[in-house]
Amino acid sequence: MARSYVMLAVVAGVVVAIHAIVYGRFLAAVRQACRAAQNHGLPDWLPAQVERVRGRASRFILGGAVVAIVAAFLRIATDSPWSLAAASFAAGFNAVAFFVEYAGFVALRRLRAEIQARASRPAEAPAPSPHDPEPMSI
C-alpha cells in the first residue's frame, strides 16, 4: 500500500512541476514582450495583450497545481471515498488546465509573430505638429 502513496506523490509532483515550467514560460514571454516594445517603440497594447494571456492562463496553472496537491494529500491522509472524488476532479481539472495553457501558448505565438513583424518594419517618421516651427532653409 505504501508504494501507491509514493506513486501518487510522484504523479502530483510531476503535475506541479509541469505547471511551474509553463508559468515560468509565460513570465518570460511577458518580459520579452515588454523589452521588445521598449526597444522598438511598439504600441503599449502588445505587451498588455501578452500580460492578459498570462493572467488568464495563470488561474488554471495555479488551480491545477493546488488541486493536484490537495487530491494527493487527501488520498494519502485519508482513505475515504471522498479522496477518490477529489482525485477524479483533479484529473479532470488538470486536463482542462493543460488545454487552456496550450491555447495560451498559441495566443503567445501569434502575438510574438505580430511583435516581430512590427519590430522588423522601419520606423515611420512622426507627423509634424502644427506647433513646430518651420525648418530654416539656408
- pLDDT of 132: 60
Does the residue 131 lie in any domain?
no
Residue type at position 28 = A
| 19: in domain | yes
Cα(103)–Cα(100) distance, integer angstroms: 5
Contact call for residues 2 and 76 (beta carbons, < 8 A): no
In a domain, residue 130? The reply is no
C-alpha cell at 12: 502530483
Torsion sign across C-alpha atoms 16, 18, 19, 24: positive
Flag whether 116 is in a domain.
yes
Which residue range(s) make up the domain with 28? 2-120
Give the side-chain half-sphere CA count within 13 A for 123: 9
Give the model's pLDDT for residue 81.
Answer: 79
pLDDT, the chain, mean: 87
C-alpha cell at 70: 490537495
Could you tell me if residue 34 is inside a domain?
Answer: yes
Angstrom distance (rounded) from CA 64 to CA 69: 9
What is the model's pLDDT at position 129?
A: 59
* pLDDT value of position 130: 63
pLDDT for res 17: 96
Supply the pLDDT for residue 57: 94
Segments of the chain with pLDDT less than 50: none
pLDDT at position 137: 61
Does 129 map to a domain?
Answer: no
Domain-embedded: residue 128: no
Instruction: Give the number of domains in the chain.
Output: 1
In a domain, 41, yes or no: yes
